[in-house]
Structure 1
Amino acid sequence: MTETILSRNLRRLFTCGSAAGLVLCAPPLLAQTSPPALQPPPTPAAAPMQRVEITGSSIRRLATETSLPITTIRASDFAKQGLATAQEVLNAIPMNQSSEGSTAAVGSGTGGRATADLRGLGGDKTLVLLNGRRLANHPYFADSVDLNIIPVAALERVEVLRDGASAIYGTDAIGGVINFITKRSVEGAALVVEAYEPYAQGGGHEQRLNLSGGWGDLERDGLSMWGVIDWHQQSALRATDRSFSSTGIRPERGMFEVSGTTFPANFFSDNGVTGNPYAPACQPPDSVALPGEPLCAFDYTRFVDNIPKTRQFSAMARLNKKFGAHTAGLEFVHGRSTNEAQVAPPPLSGIGVTMTGDSPFYPGNGIVPAFPGLSGEPLDIAWRPLETGRRNNFDSSITDRLLASLEGTLAGWDYNTAISYSLGKAKSIFNGGYVIDQRIIDGVAAGILNPFGPQNAQGADYLRNSILSGEYLHARIHSAAVDARASRELMTLPGGPLGFAIGAEFRRDRAKYFVNRELASQASSSGSADAQDQSGARSIWALFSEVNVPIIKDLELNVAARYDHYSDVGGSFNPKVALRWQPTPQLLLRGSFNKGFRAPTLFDLYGPQTTTNSSDTYDDPVLCPNGVPAPGANPNIACGQQQFVRGGGNPDLSPERSRTYSAGIVVEPIKNLTFSLDYWNIRLKDQISELAEQTLFSEIAP
């Protein structure tokens, strides 16, 4: 869905409010670039430049001295571009691929999380920080932060480190680091209302309400407090609302993504006859004739949501208090996301749905047309009951973090320490369309349900009483952490001051996954029919250090190293070396080498086992080699169909490793015009991931 200039202006309608009331914003401007990467060394001025901590380093320094490839997006740019969420802010960065999660595949509930993904390496290899510290990962998968919990109105800027940083931050920082930095002081109040109307008709409408306010200036008053409340919702966009996704049958593109579990139902008899009593008429456009076969095929793409119905609520509050050279802070973050996604009605095949010859709906018994070759043999049924509606998954997640921090200067050291506690909760609910397998099996066997046509009054009532509803999966993840770091200039070398930093961190993580066995076990189409409760815990401690050496004027060497120890998967040592050379004010050369790692998450280790359908269709290599059903095999299940995919935690996983090499050049021919070219080579070893289903099926020999 492409956002035009007109739709973007509409999106900005009724924004930029104030305490006195709403005002209309000017049309959005082009995004401003981050400050030029090249700057001559700062010259003495009346007011000394403040040293700050830059993302990717623990040494406080002047921002212009950094050797790291950092992109900075400021809050003023958010407003100019009409960016309403943290995900949209990151989508403005070319090297990032943010995505909004949905339940597009059965059993893959996401709670509607939105994730960041630098360079397409995966959201699990991009570390997301808030004010330089970790947030709790989303309970499902536990491999990334849900961007929905970060209110954009609270931000002062976003810093994106486009380089590995495990030597500073530990796990997950293989692809880079995204640091959301909030304002320190807010005075007054503001109300923002936004609406977004897609240019194309149907679905995807957005609304947003934001309220922020605060009191006090930290530098002037020694005290500041502020808070932000943000609410955002987006309506569902069905696949059929857009022509490019309205069908999985696109002959001009060689696409025929269909399922043999359809309505009217296909069957397979004990004597080897397979067919559909209504083929080739079937029931278009949902079911179409299967070329060359007396069967129907189901166009399941038509029933999927491109964008699920989502709602996000986030709130953040911060209190800062200065005590001489020290500043204490208390920060609370709360986020809640809901995601309502729909997929095709439940596929009922391979679970024992059998019709006997005495059923009134048996082909040729008077209601359903006869089919050649049938003489009363039992039929194995492959059926989707359209009358139950699309399967509707309602996912929700809640994240809370409370953090107390203290920073300042003590005995010549710049220090920063904090203690925090985070809690993430998520749940998945059957919200319609899921049916009780055994009741369907019994209803077809008893002649109550008609899988080949509309239900009579008795069958319709039976189906209504076969619907499952309720919470079937619940997850919790707890994280308690304490960290401390300090830096100072140890000495002055001919090229400048030698900077040094040291720090330590301790974290305790716990995760629990609860499966409602009574509910989930009744629906094979849920993906969680055989899932079990799981739990796990770990302790992590880390030590890290960094030194910044000005070898000569304009030539700087930065060396960092960190050791992390996990109570369940062992330790990892990761160094980093970076070099920055600025021979002239208009030219900068930089390069780096670093090692990184990603420890398996608690979900990677202990996540409940699921059985879902593949996204594409395949031939079973054993039951349907080369597209030909083996003797006695049911082609409605084995040939050209969605196959079962097994997933879940693996307690034998070990950390994945990385090596990253980078080199870059930055040129600033004139003031405020900067060109940069960077090269990265990232090598992964022992990568933790699921093999693509296409790879699995292509590697299996018949």
Structure 2
Amino acid sequence: MSSESLTAKAIRRGLFAVATTSVAAAGMYSQVSIAAEAEAQVERIEVTGSRIKRTDMETATPVTVMSADDMAKQGFTTIQDALQSLTSTTSAMTTQSVHGFTPAASSISLRGAGANRTLTLVDGKRLNQYPKPAGGTDNFVDTANLPMEAVERIEVLQSGGSAVYGADAVGGVINIILKKDFDGAALKYRHGDTTGGGGASDRIALSLGSSSEKGNVSTFIEFTNNEGLTAAQREKFGVHTDKVPHSEYSQYSSYGARIAGTGTGARQLSAQECTDGGWFWDEARSICGFDRSQWRDLEPESYRFISTTNFNYELNDDVAFVGRLDFAQAKSTTNIEPMAINDYDIKVNGNELTVSYGNQLSKTFADKTTALGGDFANATDGDYYYVRRLHEFDNRRGETNTRNYFFTVGLEGVLADEYNWDVSANYGRTNVDVFRSGYATVGSMFDYITAGENGNSLLKPMSSDDVEAASYSPFEQAQSTQKNIQANLTGMAFEMAEGDAYFAVGAEYTIQDYSTDTDSESKKGNILTTGGSSGAGERSYWATYAELSVPVLEELTVNAAVRYDRYDDMGGNFTPQVTVEYRPIDELLVRGSYSRVFRAPDMHRVYGDPTTGFSQVIDFKQCAALGGEPGVTHPDPTINEICNELHIDITTGANKDLEAETGYTANIGAVYGGDAFNATFDIWEWQLDDMVSDISASKAAREYELYEHMITRDDNGTITHINSVAQNLAYKKVSGIDLTAGYNWDLDSFGDLKLNFNGTYLINSESQLDPTSEVVDNIDEGGLPQYRFNLVLGYFVQDFEATLGAYHTARMHGVNYTSFKTDDVSESELEVASQTKWNLTAAYNISDEFKLTSGIVNLFDAGPNFDPTDTSWPHYPRSVYNARGREWFVEAEVKF
């Protein structure tokens, strides 16, 4: 043990006193090259999951590391692709969600906790949240605009880290470490395409860096252009047909052009009139329907520009000035089928005909034989409505423009040759502008239907002038910002016979705000087939934290951390954590951890205005009452609509009385590392009480007895609206097993062979709505694969390398499994089949300055596997699979 100065000893005693009276240590990952550390002299480094510097990458909490080289060898194009490949990723939100609130953003969920409970960092710094909440409710960090070329590696803490990082680290922590001290210049170009057509991509990346004796400036610029992928480009989704052959529940939309209602005698189109009008004649049901497949995107067209600049400069031997500046701009365009409406009520009473829209608009015509083109001349008294696809308005198109800014500046250094410290100020902002077309207002369509003395028939095509007069272009503007300052200090606390005890202390202060606002007509709910989301709020909190690592025995180290968070709107909370590391031999580590969890609700769930939208559901109650069967085609168009594709209004709302979520995370496992073989085994569990969530429209319609209070029905008993407000549910608990193993073969002059395995198995996932409700088995409920595993084989010889990866997702119950399960149906008939996707890449270093890489992603064109219980297009779980099919790419890199 090296000698130390009296000053250092005095500082250490003072700092240890602070550590024993401060609370919880949150970590900020400092940069370190793993490869360089393996070859250089041993020094203490920070590892994700702790602020204390240490000499070993394996700690009491499990961390998965993906280097930039690993990601490239496995053929991943984006950070989102790499994160989705993790076996601990249970679901993902991707740009496939073209019908959702956030079609231009991406995120992942670790351990089934949700994207809003998975913390994403860049170089240990928090990122501001995406201003448009997922599903109109959940805040998250967008991974779509994070740089790929600037990444050195990604570290994923696969355990809760609330005591170290704060409230939003329940499912885990993703820490993206950027390249530092790059010197020189490099240009990389990558082109990829799918063998099925559509979805081509181009990426150009430029890396620039300059170093001096005092510091470095590194800039990474990346431009990506992605071609859209349409449903018509994939036979599985219906080429010129909306019927998906893999799903018995797939059918043409009944929203073509027809009249429905309680009476009889209203006009109906013939097959010829239907097709001449631009709709589709559904022969099986003898109705004028619509073929949606040629109008829908599976993935949007998009482009992204990303720029990241890192800088560091030594002010003196002990202090450095450091910072980072990020800018990203993206544009994404989505297309879905034209509007489908059934919003205008028509009442026939004697010879009178009245057109109305709720209690807002109404007009009566004296002669039903001439009103609305004579469509109701022979109609009996009763209530009617047009079921109409307004294809004259063309696609409903959405253009999302995103601008993301981040800036951090700070100082870091060494105090008294013993203690590492850093202070920083961080600012992030995201702006999102959404412009849409292909819509009409409630009033303008009412004016068209009731225009003049006799009005207009909706069974006849609209003229271009009428479409232009009724058209409306909604828009939305959203912004989020985050301002943060933080300070950290770490070093040796005191000496012990078994080794030195180390500590970390720190504090941070954060202000978050967001606002999202739509045009005035959208806020009023006056736009047909779409809604608006608005809201604004600000939240500030401060935290102080401490961590202590004590070698109780030579083989046993105990780490304790405690953090205190104080929110201006949710109060304060202590969050403790205890971890244990036991090393009976040098090659084996036995580890365990337990941490409490405290999480404030998402800002939009507290401060957001009610969000209006539209959904397609099965009205299980009304379907049974009318003698239909859910998901089964019925000859009666009204019953068929109710039992298959009922279009309804939905509202999700904030709840200012929400309470914070509390719970725990726990992990116990072992790590073995030998010369050629290494393996890890971990059993983990997390639980949240008072978990904030809401009930989906489809779930409320399916389990109507429980959620009838959320449902609005018309006079006939059919669902017209479902209102879902955020609420504190009873609890959710998830447990599972992680297993990794790797083996390296040295083949002498024939090169090296490496085999790595990663797997995650969910033992249990259960939740409860309230203390009196039944406990729900989420795996049995459907949509959640019970296990995933990856197997990656790499071969390296001289300047050549090749990698073959297999990525397996287990069978799972369909999303409506419990609703469709009967004694007459076998379990396998209601399951989504398992899938194994293979990636093959190869690279050759032609010289030190030039490298050529090529590969095939999804070598055998697997999937997506369809859900036999999912009545909604595209009939497969988009949070797990995609429809891109087989892809190929070539990439060239030149260094200067």
1:622 CA drift (Å): 10
Match of 1:164 among 160, 163, 166: 160
1:338 CA drift (Å): 2.1
Output the CA distance in 2 between the equivalents of 1:658 and 1:291: 53
User: Within the alignment, does 1:334 sit opposite 2:327 as a pair?
Assistant: yes
Structure 1 residues 209 and 35, CA gap change in structure 2 (3 angstroms): closer
Aligned AA for 1:418?
Answer: S
User: Within the alignment, does 1:417 sit opposite 2:423 as a pair?
Assistant: yes
1:567 CA drift (Å): 0.7
Structure 1 residues 410 and 337, CA gap change in structure 2 (3 angstroms): same
User: Within the alignment, does 1:54 sit opposite 2:47 as a pair?
Assistant: yes
Q: Is the 8 A contact 1:73 1:158 kept in 2?
A: yes
Q: Is the 8 A contact 2:47 2:53 kept in 1?
A: yes
2:434 counterpart residue number: 428
396-405 vs 164-173, which deviates more?
A: 396-405
User: Within the alignment, does 1:494 sit opposite 2:497 as a pair?
Assistant: yes
Aligned AA for 2:302?
Answer: T
2:547 counterpart residue number: 546
Q: Is the 8 A contact 1:657 1:685 kept in 2?
A: yes
Q: Is the 8 A contact 1:259 1:642 kept in 2?
A: no
1:683 counterpart residue number: 687
Output the CA distance in 1 between the equivalents of 2:193 and 2:245: 32
2:106 counterpart residue number: 114
1:160 CA drift (Å): 0.8
Aligned AA for 2:528?
Answer: S
* Structure number with higher strand proportion: 2
Matches within 5 A, 1:213-362: 213-216=208-211, 221-246=213-238, 249-250=243-244, 253-256=247-250, 259-260=253-254, 262-268=255-261, 271=263, 276-278=268-270, 283=275, 287=280, 289=282, 295-298=287-290, 300=292, 303-322=295-314, 323-352=316-345, 354=355, 357-359=369-371, 361-362=373-374
Matches within 5 A, 1:487-566: 487-518=490-521, 521=524, 523-528=526-531, 533-566=534-567
Percentage identity across paired residues of the two chains: 26
TM-score by length of 1: 0.83
Q: Is the 8 A contact 1:498 1:547 kept in 2?
A: yes
1:188 counterpart residue number: 184
Output the CA distance in 2 between the equivalents of 1:362 and 1:528: 33
Q: Is the 8 A contact 1:408 1:416 kept in 2?
A: yes
Matches within 5 A, 1:130-149: 130-141=122-133, 143-149=139-145
User: Within the alignment, does 1:100 sit opposite 2:94 as a pair?
Assistant: yes
Output the CA distance in 2 between the equivalents of 1:603 and 1:528: 16
Q: Indicate the RMSD between aligned Cα atoms, in angstroms.
A: 3.3
TM-score by length of 2: 0.66
2:81 counterpart residue number: 88
1:51 CA drift (Å): 1.7
Structure 1 residues 500 and 275, CA gap change in structure 2 (3 angstroms): farther
Match of 1:665 among 664, 670, 681: 670
373-382 vs 565-574, which deviates more?
A: 373-382
Output the CA distance in 2 between the equivalents of 1:122 and 1:694: 19
| Number of positions where the alignment pairs a residue of Structure 1 with one of Structure 2 | 635
CA deviations on 1:112-159 (whole Å, 9 max, x unpaired) are 112132233321111000111101111111622111332122122111
CA deviations on 1:19-38 (whole Å, 9 max, x unpaired) are xxxxxxxxxxxxxxx989xx
Structure 1 residues 688 and 239, CA gap change in structure 2 (3 angstroms): farther
1:697 counterpart residue number: 701
CA deviations on 1:270-294 (whole Å, 9 max, x unpaired) are x4667843379955996454967x6
1:523 CA drift (Å): 4.6
Structure 1 residues 275 and 296, CA gap change in structure 2 (3 angstroms): farther
Structure 1 residues 651 and 311, CA gap change in structure 2 (3 angstroms): farther
Output the CA distance in 1 between the equivalents of 2:342 and 2:185: 58
Structure 1 residues 473 and 544, CA gap change in structure 2 (3 angstroms): same
Structure 1 residues 252 and 143, CA gap change in structure 2 (3 angstroms): closer
Output the CA distance in 2 between the equivalents of 1:187 and 1:116: 33
CA deviations on 1:47-101 (whole Å, 9 max, x unpaired) are 6422211111011111346222111111222333343322123233222244423
1:23 counterpart residue number: none
Output the CA distance in 2 between the equivalents of 1:609 and 1:410: 52
Aligned AA for 1:139?
Answer: P
Aligned AA for 1:495?
Answer: E
173-182 vs 330-339, which deviates more?
A: 330-339
2:736 counterpart residue number: none
Q: Is the 8 A contact 2:237 2:244 kept in 1?
A: no
User: Within the alignment, does 1:209 sit opposite 2:227 as a pair?
Assistant: no
Q: Is the 8 A contact 1:153 1:228 kept in 2?
A: yes
CA deviations on 1:505-535 (whole Å, 9 max, x unpaired) are 1011122222210466475335326x6x532
Output the CA distance in 2 between the equivalents of 1:382 and 1:617: 17
Q: Is the 8 A contact 1:102 1:109 kept in 2?
A: no
1:227 CA drift (Å): 0.9
Structure 1 residues 60 and 429, CA gap change in structure 2 (3 angstroms): same
User: Within the alignment, does 1:612 sit opposite 2:624 as a pair?
Assistant: no
Unpaired runs of at least 5, structure 1: 1-33, 366-372
Aligned AA for 1:466?
Answer: A
Q: Is the 8 A contact 1:236 1:309 kept in 2?
A: yes
Structure 1 residues 200 and 639, CA gap change in structure 2 (3 angstroms): closer
Aligned AA for 1:117?
Answer: S
Structure 1 residues 139 and 59, CA gap change in structure 2 (3 angstroms): same
SS of alignment partner, residue 604 of structure 1: helix
154-163 vs 341-350, which deviates more?
A: 341-350
Q: Is the 8 A contact 2:303 2:330 kept in 1?
A: yes
Aligned AA for 1:439?
Answer: S
Matches within 5 A, 1:68-79: 68-79=61-72
User: Within the alignment, does 1:596 sit opposite 2:600 as a pair?
Assistant: no
1:316 CA drift (Å): 0.9
Structure 1 residues 634 and 243, CA gap change in structure 2 (3 angstroms): closer
2:29 counterpart residue number: none
Q: Is the 8 A contact 2:620 2:702 kept in 1?
A: no
2:481 counterpart residue number: 478
Structure 1 residues 637 and 443, CA gap change in structure 2 (3 angstroms): farther
Aligned AA for 2:151?
Answer: L
2:472 counterpart residue number: 468
Q: Is the 8 A contact 1:528 1:609 kept in 2?
A: no
1:381 counterpart residue number: 386
Q: Is the 8 A contact 2:252 2:282 kept in 1?
A: no
Structure 1 residues 451 and 274, CA gap change in structure 2 (3 angstroms): same
Output the CA distance in 1 between the equivalents of 2:45 and 2:267: 72
Unpaired runs of at least 5, structure 2: 1-32, 347-354, 356-364, 630-636, 706-716, 718-896
Q: Is the 8 A contact 1:136 1:399 kept in 2?
A: no
317-326 vs 125-134, which deviates more?
A: 317-326
